[in-house]
Amino acid sequence: MTEANASLAEAPEEEKVKINRQEFLNLAWLASLGFLVLEVSGVTVLFAYPRFKEGEFGGIFTFGKVTDLPEKGSGPANIPKVKLWLSHTDEGVIGLYKVCPHLGCLYGWSDQDGKFICPCHGSQYELDGDYIQGPAPRSLDRFALQIVDGETGEILADNSTTDFGPISLNNFPENAIVQIDTGNRTEGANHD
Ligand code: FES
């Protein structure tokens, strides 16, 4: 084979190597772009979905029918799963956050004393969460609460317009349901 023929035979091989490098760079660039798109989509999906599931703390908790609530003035319903005390006072039903506003202990209800008492430093609160005494700076925190029609889901009462205060239970149908939004709460009032 002459020199001229030999260089002609090698030329396509060099060309092939150059094309492969270019293809590799293109593929690497496309792969990086794909990963970036996937990452951004994943983050978007995470933000689009609710962070808390229904029935868990931080989400909407369905207690049950209004007829399942404790008798007016009796001890509150204890629902530890969602850090909730559900009290039925003379003014109506109210949802209380189970964490003491002093230093974060879990306070409890005393049937004997008829009030909430914190075991850590002795702060005490009424059935509706109002501060009685102790080092706590304020009354108990309250959750947003709704009464909804058990069949249609229509909202019959909502305490978010009344500072999360008690909802009076007069005039609701028997199938009305109590729902608490444990992701939406307000601080109790400070005392002097
Ligand atoms: S944490 Fe409840 S009184 Fe201190």
Model confidence over 117-151: pLDDT tens digits?
A: 999 999 999 999 999 999 999 999 999 999 999 99
d(CA 16, CA 36): 30
Q: 65 with 150: CB under 8 angstroms?
A: yes
> How many whole angstroms from 141 Cα to the centroid of ligand 1?
14
Q: Which atom of ligand 1 is nearest to the CA of 119?
A: 2
pLDDT reading at 17 higher than 60: no
pLDDT at residue 50, as a whole number: 54
Top CATH class of 60-186 equals: mainly beta
Q: What is the mean pLDDT of residues 94-110?
A: 97
Q: Which atom of ligand 1 is nearest to the CA of 136?
A: 3
> Which one, of 156, 144, 150, lies nearest residue 177 by Cα?
150
Give pTM, 2 decimals. Answer: 0.75
Cβ neighbourhood burial of 3 (10 Å; 0-12, 13-18, 19+): exposed
Cβ neighbourhood burial of 80 (10 Å; 0-12, 13-18, 19+): exposed
Cα angle 152, 145, 87 (rounded to 5 degrees) comes to: 120
d(CA 127, CA 26): 69
pLDDT at residue 45, as a whole number: 59
Q: Which atom of ligand 1 is nearest to the CA of 107?
A: 2
Q: What is the mean pLDDT of residues 20-48?
A: 74
Best probe residue, ligand 1, of 123, 125, 131, 132 (max atoms within 8 Å of C-beta): 123
pLDDT reading at 8 higher than 50: no
pLDDT reading at 158 higher than 70: yes
Q: What is the mean pLDDT of residues 79-95?
A: 96
Mean pLDDT of the chain: 87
pLDDT reading at 190 higher than 70: yes
d(CA 136, CA 141): 12
Task: Locate the domains of the chain by residue range.
Answer: 1-49, 60-186
> How many whole angstroms from 97 Cα to the centroid of ligand 1?
14
pLDDT reading at 73 higher than 60: yes
> How many whole angstroms from 107 Cα to the centroid of ligand 1?
8
